[in-house]
A = this chain, B = another copy of it.
Amino acid sequence: MDPADERILLAAGRLFREKGFAATTVREIAQAAGMLPGSLHYRYASKDDVLVALMERGVKRAIAAVTEAIAVTRDPIERLRLGLRAHLELLCRGDDSLYVLLYDFRSLPPAAKEGVEKSRGRYEAFWDGMLYEAWGTGRSRSVLDVELVRQFGMGAINWVATWYRPESGRTPAQVADAFWTYLAFGLMREDARPADLDSIFTALMTSPSPEED
C-alpha cells in the first residue's frame, strides 16, 4: 500500500478513535497526515471512503493477528487464549482500525454498510469456528449456542477498549488471560479444564503487577 495512503489511515484512525467520525474534519486528517486537504482528496474521493478503507483494514489486521497468534498450537482451548490475546492487543496497542470498526459502525453511510458488515461477519465466523472446534473436543459444557458465547466473550473483550489504561500496571495480555480463565471456568466441563487453569487464575488474581510480554 502506498505510504501516503497509509499515513492517511493512521491519522484518521487516531482522530476517529478520539473524537468519532462525524466530529473529525477532513482538514484535521490531512494536517495530521502531513498534507493539504486537496492531497487527501486525491487519495480518497470522500471522507466516507476513508472510513470504509479503515474498517476493511481493521478486519484484515484482526484476522491476520489472530491467525498468526494461534498458529503455534493445535489445542483449541489454548488457541482461544492466544486469539483473545491477539485481538485485545490489536485493540489496545495496535493501530486504531479495529477500534473504529467496532465503535464507529453507526457512522457508516447505508450504502457501504453491507460490505463492511460482510467483512465483519467473516471475522465473527472465524471466531465461531474456533469456538466450534473447542466445543468439538468434548471438554466443554453442552453449550448449544456458539453465537451467544461468542457475543459474551467478544463483548467483554471489546469493552476493554473503553476503560483500559496502559499505566494501570496490567498488560492487555494479562487482561485477556484473566478473562479467558473466567470463560474457561464458566464454560468448560469441570473434569476437562486445562491442568494449569487454577494456577494461572490464582497468579493473575493475586499479582496485578506486570510480569510478561
Q: Give the B-binding residues of A (Cβ under 8 A).
A: 18-23, 103, 105-107, 141-145, 148-149, 151-160, 162-163, 175, 178-179, 182-187, 190, 201-202, 205-206, 208
Contacts and interface: CB of A to CB of B under 8 A. Distances in A.
A159 B151 contact: yes
A201 B144 CA distance: 11
Q: 5 closest pairs, A vs B, by CB?
A: A155-B159, A186-B186, A22-B22, A22-B23, A185-B186
Nearest to A148: B178
A153 B156 contact: yes
Nearest to A19: B106
A152 B106 contact: no
A199 B149 CA distance: 18
Copies of the protein in its oligomer: 2
Contact of A190 (B142, B190, B206): B190
Contact of A187 (B141, B144, B186): B186
Contacts of A162: 105, 155
A157 B143 CA distance: 19
A182 B148 CA distance: 11
B145 A205 contact: yes
A9 to B, nearest CB: 19
Contact of A185 (B148, B175, B187): B187
Nearest to A182: B186
A54 to B, nearest CB: 16
A131 to B, nearest CB: 13
B183 A106 contact: no
B160 A157 contact: no
Contact of A205 (B19, B21, B143, B183): B143
